[in-house]
A and B are shown apart, each in its own frame.
Chain A
Amino acid sequence: GAGVSQSPSNKVTEKGKDVELRCDPISGHTALYWYRQSLGQGLEFLIYFQGNSAPDKSGLPSDRFSAERTGGSVSTLTIQRTQQEDSAVYLCASSSSGGYYTGELFFGEGSRLTVL
């Protein structure tokens, strides 16, 4: 596609349920990033993929969070047993460069997660 696509755009779930957030990066972009943005806050890094591997998972807040990327393209961020503090906008970004040098990131519109 022309840009980074994220789905769903909005998700309301009950505490304790699992959610999956999807990111479809720009075609050909090898680097993919997930960030989390709480209301009125900056971006919190979650995980980085280069191809299908994740050299840096250091930002995942707990073992309830996991992410995978298949075929060097689509990525899924899964949150198990959601908690109210998981409520945030989850932003995905892709880049044609990655690794030790991080170039321009192209962001999706985000998935807004609300945990009741």
Chain B
Amino acid sequence: DGGITQSPKYLFRKEGQNVTLSCEQNLNHDAMYWYRQDPGQGLRLIYYSQIVNDFQKGDIAEGYSVSREKKESFPLTVTSAQKNPTAFYLCASSIGPRFMNTEAFFGQGTRLTVV
């Protein structure tokens, strides 16, 4: 079945450590997105990518980094520079600019907790 897989579902990090969240899709989508969800603040865009080896900062990119070495994969690293990383993280993908009317498909999310 085609879809988006995020792993792990739950992740615990010690303060000062970097941690990487995985996002893989087999939908042959060009566009991929990372969002952070906090209570009462909706989904805030961290990074997005439309093509391999290219990505753009979203609205809250500070303290995060991404890579897009393969079309299928868009991992997100939460660095020690992110002061409040505890949140629910969602990855999404869409067909991309080739087709303008493109809905986004979402993974199941990763709950990151700093301990």
Q: Do A and B bind each other?
A: no
A-side residues, CB < 8 A to B, are none
B-side residues, CB < 8 A to A, are none
